Copies of this chain bind each other. A is one copy, B any other.
Amino acid sequence: MNDIASKVLNGDPRSVARLITLVENSSPEGSRAMKDIYPHTGGAHVIGITGVMGSGKSTLISELTCEYRKQGLEVGIIAIDPTSPFSGGALLGDRVRMMELATDEGVFIRSMGTRGMLGGLTSAVYDVVEILDASGKDVVIVETVGVGQAEVDVIKIADTTIVILVPGLGDSIQAIKAGIMEIADIYVVNKADKPGVDQTVAEIESLVDISCSNRDRKTPVLTTSAKESKGIVELAQEIKKHKEYLEKSNEFEAQRRKRYEAELIEIIRKRLMNFIFDESTFKGKVELLIDQISKKEVDPYTAADEILGKILK
């Protein structure tokens, strides 16, 4: 086992940060370390939290993290929303709370921006989840803005997915249209101090009644007020209950299998793309073909065939 892998397994935050950078840069050292840490992963409960901008996701995640810390659990947070306070977009009040978390050794926060076209955001997130898991985090929270396809793909790796809505504005209806309701294991109506909360809860509950009729678990709808720290203990309990449900019903294993499938696909995709576009010999050929496509001398489908013919057995 290489040095960085053993340090990550010992929970050293610097090594965790370094390994994340290595895998983000597709370094061979990073891949070797990932192989070493892999047998020690799978212990963390991965929680996906998604909701539109302004739904108070980050404040809720802060509160939830504090609750886990009180329970003696270590927490990893991966923020994919570029407007998230975890990504530096905080208001002053939020920032103070973030600072508290950032200086807590039991919490590791990583903000992830947009990756290059070849790298792929999803692939990097999978790796970071594994690294935080291996480093001994009991809970890994993945925060996404939940609108784009890449974000929905990312959330697929969570064991428990929480969809946050806010009262009014017909968000619930919009969320359903956007397809994010399908992925929810728990609904949270945040900002429960605002008017319209009862109506929003009723709306979601009526939808849950329709959609979950043939499942043995009814998706719960909770209300929270992250700013006033209300409903957070209940949310943590509901998350725990969902994990217990997964384990009892054997869904846990099935869901994890999907996660590993998605991970494998991402690793293969990334390696192939690096192989084609980083290798100096191929890159020249690819550039030449793009020139020819621009001049309409060749079509991209024929160009793709040519490149694939060179690399595939």
The A contact surface, by secondary structure, is helix
When distances are taken between beta carbons in the complex, the residues of chain B under 8 Å from A93 are: none
Residue of A53, A152, A177, A260 ringed by the most chain B CB atoms within 10 A: A260
> How many chain copies?
2
Question: How far is the CB of A148 from the nearest CB of chain B, in Å?
Answer: 1
Given that A89-B177, A290-B257 are known contacts, is A300 also in contact with B117, CB under 8 Å in the complex? no
Please determine whether B301 and A38 come into contact, CB atoms closer than 8 angstroms: yes
Chain B CB within 8 A of A45 CB:
no
Nearest opposing residue in chain B for A113, CB measure: B179
Bitwise interface map of A from 3 to 27 toward B, beta carbon under 8 Å scored 1, else 0: 0000000000000000000000000
Structural contact, B267 and A312, CB atoms closer than 8 A? no
Nearest CB on B from A175, distance (A) = 9
Q: Per a CB cutoff under 8 Å, which of B145, B273, B290 touches A269?
A: B273
**What are 20 A-to-B residue pairs whose CB atoms are below 8 Å?**
A34-B299, A34-B301, A38-B301, A53-B147, A83-B174, A83-B177, A83-B178, A89-B177, A145-B147, A145-B148, A148-B151, A149-B150, A149-B151, A260-B293, A264-B293, A265-B273, A265-B277, A311-B312, A312-B312, A313-B313
